[in-house]
Structure 1
């Protein structure tokens, strides 16, 4: 009798918030679910974003039968162009999600090369040995789906980001009947979003945002600038509805926001009257009281429009007196400090700033504890595997599962890279594979490693001290005085005192030992600088013999 073994390979999103990516492997066939990015943490200097480490799949790309995307947020589609460049597999997504993917691939010049298939909730698609059933779930973006994946090893329910919102903005609640149907068929393994597993109760409905926006629009004396994610189509609709109710014109600002809004309108997911929508150039010429601008930057990113407005460096327009800035999002874990600084800078520049701590201008798109427990009670899986969250959130989700009767031995909590196997109806841990960070820095993908990040951190903390000198290769004498440059180490006034000391130190070393090496000079300079300042900058010495 042959063994029926399904391998579940978490490549991203387990042990962290972001870069969600899962691979299901049965025999010689692989199904990928989601290909997301993660935003860098404060100490990841110079990094644009982070993608999953999918090196495990590179030499198996011919075995990947398909890539299924659950919804259009960046932490689920952001790495799609990276993955498709190495794994040219068919992509399956709902209409809006496909539209967002197309916008992203078009920017990379990859749209013509990608094989994209449109699916909709309620459809079943056979992808190799995997029969994938798409069912609707509520999230903070329309057209989000969960997956029922029937394999020879059993039925898997992959519940990506979700919430149980009975009054969603689009009027389409989660498909509870499908979840109950899965339960009747017998679910071998449920994988479910853990983001809000530490939050008691129920996540509020998106409907509460409408009245909060009405209050902002009614009280704002001048322009309203609303910051959100460019993929948050439902928030665009709520802002547009508020603009219509209060007689303001709406302008989208920034390429990603403009492109996504245009695409969503074309597909019918964003309904804005033509007379309400105006280009940004026109909006800037109108009376402040008549305008609302919607842009990116709700996470305080320095390069975003809100980030640049907070520092006075935005080229297209600047803050005006009486501007009201609304940050319509929750801080991504690790971004709290950046967002606080951005809010403070906006306030100093005269803006009135509204954010979720003082008004319900954002609600989470993720299920809280009672919704997570309800999902477990509806599906009643044999085994449960928390996904999408930091380790503490995964562990707490596991505790919730025990509270509703899932045996502790039937719950598996793992992080990226820990393979899980479902074999003949029983679950076990497999081997570990790489599951870390792949840093994207400009055009560099994966070339920046942890050693480089540590160097950047040291440079940022202590500064640099560079000594350049040339000596005669025959006599060993200096050809000119050492040139010394320092950055981020001491003030210019202090440098005027230290540089002559360092120069004399180097000249004495060369005079006493013409065969002295770069490392010896560097060590001597480090000692001198520490004795003078009690600080340790990075010291670089270049020695050329001419």
Structure 2
């Protein structure tokens, strides 16, 4: 086997969850393959499992250890779950980055904000142009999605052709961006496709996907009928939806205010890269108070309930001089991502308390998905006619259902979740090896590992509370003045004369008085005595065993 060349596929993120996309393709001798990386995305934290964390990314350690073999990084489109981690992780990878014009502009901004060289992002033309990257030739095939200039990737290798679908939908009229062109994909299929790695997000949706253009009339009717100010929120990156909303508001005689940094950045980039033209004129938020409320449409960030975004700020009170009132309308022109229901519900309840009319997408009139539904997956399968289909971009249940669906239609379906390396060289993929995968967190300004213990300790303190104990030891090795205790996140106990902290100080003092002299020469021994005492006493008094931090100060002779 030594020296025999093979073609491999490995998902480090995105095949086991929706988000955090990072995929590796390799070709060459075993353990010496030349590599390319597709997408460097993020996913978002929650207070239950990752409190305080800002962003979550796939751990690039496997690629980082082989960075000298990495030929390039290819970004399929500018959604955060595909490009959001680029600036933060590029220094670990060090390879040139390739993307189409709009995506490249967003990627360069990510690099620049992270202090990395934006010049490493190379703008490339769409299909049939190909990028040479070691043994690979990679082409960006235009495809419709909910952001401009999304691309599937044709990856040509000495062992055969791969079609990496990325996120796509079969929309011939996407309003902004590239329409789905069946002829292009049919021609690619005619030339032969060995493996298609394919989006699985909407595999459970049984009806064909709807076009973005079908939203125009329902949204225009809503804008005409609304009496007060209208606020509409959607994904900041959905430039087509922003255009549909703005044009509907403009047609109803409303002036447009765009509220939120992310949304303004996307619109600015779309104009600069010439994927958006004819967007209705906007007014600055500082001028909005001069516009009658019935003539105002506010496009706001925060469709997923983000606490610091414009929608949440407007729901909680006045923001940037704007305030929602009874009779106003708030439109959620978006789908709530699973896991965000509570945060979105919180905003809706706050709006309801203000007497604001809430319109969501419960009946499907004001939002369409950017991902292929099950019938649309069938369209792509039959255009490309791949030998093998490997589902990606989905939770495990999405991957298995997609593989079963492919099998039911006569294709070979293979499930390869994160860490399952496939050898694609032969006619049927083989499991090659298991790679340890994980996550890294952006925590403030630092990137930490999921197993570093930082978040785990934070969760422990949140659940159990925290006791800090300070002890001073004299030159002779004896404690001075007993222990000093402070509690954080623990209830007070009314029946105790000196409170919980006082009771702990008394108990610790008694235990230290009984300790051996040798114990006072060993900080670890003192910490164990104190921690045991705190755990036992707190459990007796309040039914909790808090995290205990012991600070020992010694006077020098």
Q: TM-score, normalised to structure 1's length?
A: 0.92
Alignment of 1:424-435 (within 5 A): 424-435=426-437
C-alpha deviation, 1:231, in angstroms: 1.8
Q: What RMSD, in angstroms, separates the aligned Cα atoms of the two structures?
A: 2.5
Structure 1, unaligned runs of 5 or more = none
The answer to whether the Cα contact below 8 Å between 2:108 and 2:119 also exists between their aligned partners in 1 is no
For 1:379 and 1:253, the matched residues in 2 are separated by 42
Which whole-Å deviations, capped at 9, do the CAs of 1:414-454 have from their partners, x for residues lacking one? 11121111224442111222321111112111245363322
Counterpart position of 1:244: 250
- Pairing partner for 1:508 from 507, 510, 515: 510
2: CA distance, partners of 1:494 / 1:376: 71
The C-alpha deviation readout for 1:128-159, integer Å capped at 9, x for no partner, is 22222322211111211112211100111111
Query: Counterpart of 2:222?
Result: 216
For this pair of structures, how many residues does the alignment match?
541
User: Against the structure 1 CA distance between its residues 45 and 396, is the aligned structure 2 distance closer, same or farther, given a 3 Å change threshold?
Assistant: same
Choose which of 163, 166, 171 in structure 1 pairs with 2:172.
166
Kindly provide the CA deviation profile for residues 284-323 of structure 1, in whole angstroms up to 9, marking residues without a partner as x. 4432222222232111122222233344485665544444
> What is the correspondence of 1:466-485 to structure 2 with a 5 Å cutoff?
466-474=468-476, 476-479=478-481, 482-485=483-486
Q: Tell whether 2:135 aligns with 1:129.
A: yes
Instruction: Choose which of 339, 348, 368 in structure 2 pairs with 1:363.
Output: 368
Residues 36 and 284 (structure 1 numbering): CA distance in 2 closer, same or farther, change over 3 Å? Answer: farther
Aligned to 1:347: 352
Equivalent residues of 2:439, 2:450 under 8 A apart: no
Name 2:522's counterpart in structure 1: none
Q: Is the 8 A contact 2:59 2:437 kept in 1?
A: yes
Q: Which residue of 2 aligns with 1:44?
A: 50
* C-alpha contact 1:376 1:404 (8 A) present in aligned 2: no
TM-score by length of 2: 0.90
User: What is the alpha-carbon distance in structure 2 between the residues aligned to residue 113 and residue 207 of structure 1?
Assistant: 36
Residues 439 and 449 in structure 1, CA contact (< 8 A), matched pair in contact too = no
Residue 298 of structure 1 corresponds to which residue in structure 2?
Answer: 303
Contact 2:23/2:37, CA 8 A, preserved across alignment = yes
Select between 222-231 and 520-529 the one with higher mean Cα deviation.
222-231
1:78–1:507: structure 2 CA closer, same or farther, 3 Å change rule? same
In 2, Cα distance between the equivalents of 1:390 and 1:148?
24
Inter-partner Cα distance in structure 2 for 1:47 and 1:327: 26
CA contact (8 A) 2:314 2:323 kept: yes
1:265: how far off? 1.6
Q: Secondary structure at the match of 2:394?
A: coil
Q: Quick one: structure 1 residues 153 and 477, their matched pair in 2 at CA, closer, same or farther if it must change by over 3 Å?
A: closer
Bigger CA drift: 315-324 or 432-441?
A: 315-324
CA distance change for structure 1 residues 494 and 152 in 2, over 3 Å: closer, same or farther? farther
Cα distance change on mapping 1:345 and 1:486 into 2, 3 Å: farther
| Secondary structure of the corresponding residue to residue 161 of structure 1 | coil
Partner of 2:236: 230
Shift of residue 67 of structure 1? 1.8
Candidates 317, 328, 337, aligned match of 2:342? 337
- Cα distance in 2 between the residues matched to 1:360 and 1:493: 56
Structure 2 gaps, min length 5 = 520-525
CA distance in 2, matches of 1:355, 1:72: 26
Distance 1:37 1:273, change over 3 A: closer
Q: Cα deviation per residue 1:7-58 (whole Å; 9 max; x = unaligned)?
A: 1121210001101111111124222211111112342111111112111122
Note if contact 1:252-1:293 (Cα within 8 Å) is conserved in structure 2: yes
Distance 2:516 2:470 in 1: 16
CA deviation after TM superposition for structure 1 residue 331, in Å: 2.2
1:198 deviates by: 1.5
State the secondary structure of the residue aligned to 1:360: coil
- The aligned residue for residue 147 of structure 2 is 141
Q: 2:536 aligns with which of 512, 518, 527?
A: 527
Contact 2:146–2:237 (Cα < 8 Å) also in 1: no
SS class of match (2:53) = coil
Equivalence for 1:200: 206
Q: How big is each residue's C-alpha offset from its partner over 1:104-126, in whole Å with a ceiling of 9 and x where there is no partner?
A: 33333435442412322443333
**Structure-to-structure mapping, 1:49-198, within 5 angstroms:** 49-170=55-176, 172-198=178-204
Q: What SS class does the counterpart of residue 361 from structure 1 fall into?
A: coil
What secondary structure, in the 3-state scheme, does the structure 1 residue paired with 2:237 have?
Answer: coil
Contact residue 478 and residue 510 of structure 1 kept, 8 A: no
Q: Does 1:402 align with 2:427?
A: no
Q: For the residues of structure 1 that align with 2:495 and 2:219, how far apart are their CA atoms?
A: 53
- 1:540 and 2:549 aligned: yes
User: Mapping of 1:492-503 within 5 angstroms?
Assistant: 497-503=499-505
SS in 2 for 1:467: strand
Deviations 1:494-520 (A, max 9, x none): 886322222221222233337561221
Residues 160/475 of structure 1: CA separation in 2 closer, same or farther (3 Å cut): closer
CA shift in 2, pair 1:179/1:513, >3 Å? same
Q: Judge conservation of contact 2:172–2:181 (CA < 8 Å) in 1.
A: no
Task: Tell me, yes or no, if the aligned pair for 2:144 and 2:171 is still in contact at 8 Å.
Answer: yes
The alpha-carbon distance between structure 1 residues 483 and 390, as it changes in their structure 2 partners (threshold 3 A), is: same
Q: Which moved more, 1:149-158 or 1:19-28?
A: 19-28
| Distance in 2 of aligned mates of 1:103 and 1:239 | 26
Secondary structure of the residue aligned to 1:140 is coil
Work out which structure has the larger RCO, using CA pairs closer than 8 Å and 6 or more positions apart in sequence.
1
Q: Judge which range, 151-160 or 490-499, deviates more.
A: 490-499
Aligned match of 1:7: 8
